[in-house]
């Protein structure tokens, strides 16, 4: 029985992915499923069990529409550093084993010579939310940190554990899930905090869009082989 359970967990982990397509705004996420996802967040491991996070559940259509009106600019730093992670064919991505396909991004993000044009473009959060009937905005208290953790690195790791617990639970329920890092970017964060009444000392770590895809699409996902990153007894050591 234990072996079967472990196989199920590994399969769930392998099938977890970012659902980048639009969601059906007319198909809400059931409240009991939202509760399960939040319960998974509640039991995430955190540094010194500080549980330094709060989650704002946004399921009111008018409030989501209001958030969607907030506009943002892409940063030059993101465009340049993102470009280095892109592959421009499935063959290239299979060979690299890391990164993502460039076809997921606007044309101006795919050419280093067009960075100036890319950073001048304005988009609304509506284009990021893409019909999601449910948003989870994860915040943390900047006045606290894990003991002796410069920059609160351990606290950031904890927020990643919260993310993964929620994501895997959503995956197990057949609910699409995608992280929206733009919610934590200036000046977008300030507008979101004002709209949702989030106190000034709280920082938005990330937000998640959840829902059911309007269309089912698959895209190539790659991972390094175990032999590319797992060493034995010393760095670079191979299993005999």
Same domain, 46 and 159: yes
Positive or negative torsion for Cα 12, 18, 21, 27:
positive
Provide the residue range defining the domain that includes 106: 75-120
Residue-level pLDDT at 5: 72
Any idea what the CATH number is for the domain that residue 158 is in? 3.40.109.10
Could you give phi then psi for residue 182, rounded to 5 degrees?
-60, -25
Q: Is residue 177 part of a domain?
A: yes
Whole-model pTM: value is 0.94
Q: Is residue 28 part of a domain?
A: yes
Q: Is residue 228 part of a domain?
A: no
Residue-level pLDDT at 104: 85
Query: Count of domains in the chain?
Result: 2
Structural element, H or E, at residue 156:
helix 153-172
Residue-level pLDDT at 53: 98
Are 121 and 74 contacting, i.e. CB atoms less than 8 angstroms apart? Answer: yes
d(Cα 139, Cα 207) in Å, to the nearest integer? 9
d(Cα 58, Cα 118) in Å, to the nearest integer? 30
- Lateral strand order in the sheet of 176-180: 54-58, 134-141, 202-211, 176-180
Same domain, 150 and 35: yes
Same domain, 144 and 42: yes
Residue-level pLDDT at 60: 98
d(Cα 103, Cα 59) in Å, to the nearest integer? 30
Q: Is residue 206 part of a domain?
A: yes
Same domain, 136 and 167: yes
Same domain, 164 and 61: yes
Q: Nearest CA to 126 among 67, 166, 82? A: 67
For the chain, 240 residues long, give each residue's pLDDT as a single digit of tens: 556 576 799 999 999 999 999 999 999 999 999 999 999 999 999 999 999 999 999 999 999 999 999 999 889 999 999 999 999 999 999 999 999 999 888 899 899 899 899 888 889 999 999 999 999 999 999 999 999 999 999 999 999 999 999 999 999 999 999 999 999 999 999 999 999 999 999 999 999 999 999 988 888 999 999 999 999 999 999 887
């Amino acid at each position: 029985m234990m072996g079967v359970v472990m196989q199920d967990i590994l399969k769930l982990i392998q099938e977890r992915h970012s659902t980048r397509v639009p969601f059906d705004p007319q198909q809400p996420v059931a409240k009991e499923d939202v509760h399960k996802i939040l319960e998974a967040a509640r039991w995430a491991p955190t540094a010194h069990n500080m549980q330094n996070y709060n989650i704002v559940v946004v399921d009111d259509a008018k409030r989501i529409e209001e958030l969607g009106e907030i506009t943002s600019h892409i940063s030059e730093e993101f465009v340049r550093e993102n470009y280095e992670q892109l592959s421009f064919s499935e063959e290239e991505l299979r060979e690299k084993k890391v990164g993502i396909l460039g076809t997921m991004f606007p044309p101006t993000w795919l050419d280093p010579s067009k960075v100036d044009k890319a950073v001048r473009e304005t988009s609304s959060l509506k284009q990021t939310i893409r019909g999601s009937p449910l948003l989870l905005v994860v915040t943390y208290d900047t006045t606290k940190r894990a003991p002796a953790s410069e920059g609160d690195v351990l606290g950031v790791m904890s927020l990643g554990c919260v993310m993964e617990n929620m994501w895997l639970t959503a995956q197990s329920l057949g609910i699409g899930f995608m992280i929206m890092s733009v919610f934590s970017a200036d000046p977008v964060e300030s507008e979101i905090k004002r709209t949702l009444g989030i106190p000034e000392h709280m920082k938005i770590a990330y937000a998640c869009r959840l829902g059911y895809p309007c269309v089912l699409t698959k895209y190539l996902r790659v991972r390094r082989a175990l032999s590319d990153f797992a060493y034995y007894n010393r760095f670079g050591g191979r299993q005999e």
